[in-house]
Amino acid sequence: MNSTAIFAQRVRCRAARNVALVGVVSCLAVTGFAAAVHGARAASSIRSDIVWVADTHKGDRLPLTSKNVSSPVVTTPLRPLIGCEPAFSRVADPKRSHILGRCIS
């Protein structure tokens, strides 16, 4: 065999492979489209009942808190840990000044 015949055989083999690949992809696409159309028809044939919900009295379900409940007493350590700084300032938010923000390890 000469080099031209080998080249022609390779081209035919690639063309046959490409045709087979296009055929497989086309079959998968048609199958997927048919399944989508069938699913859409099945979904449109299902009858749905419309339900109306009265939401005028929804707020009365929340639990009421009494105004006489005192907040828990938070004890702060006298001095923060070495290498840690508080996340909140004692001046701006004294209730949260005991929470540590960043610590150097």
For the stretch 13-23, pLDDT in tens is 888 888 899 99
Phi-psi category of residue 83: left, alpha or beta, with phi > 0 → left and psi -120 to 50 → alpha: left
Q: Between 82 and 40, where is the model more confident?
A: 82
73-77-78 Cα angle (round to 5)? 120
Over residues 37-67, the pLDDT tens digits come to 777 666 666 666 777 777 777 666 666 666 6
CA distances from 89 to 31, 51, 52, 85, 93 (A): 66, 52, 50, 10, 6
Cα separation of 91 and 105, whole Å?
27
Q: What is the pLDDT of residue 98?
A: 82
Mean pLDDT to the nearest integer, 66-94: 73
Amino acid at 35: A
The pLDDT value recorded for residue 9 is: 81
Please give the model's pTM, rounded to 2 decimal places.
0.34
Rounded CA gap, 74 and 79, in Å?
A: 15
**Is the model more confident about 42 or about 35?**
35
The shares of helix, strand and coil residues in the chain, as percent rounded to the nearest 5, are 50, 5, 45
* pLDDT for 25: 92
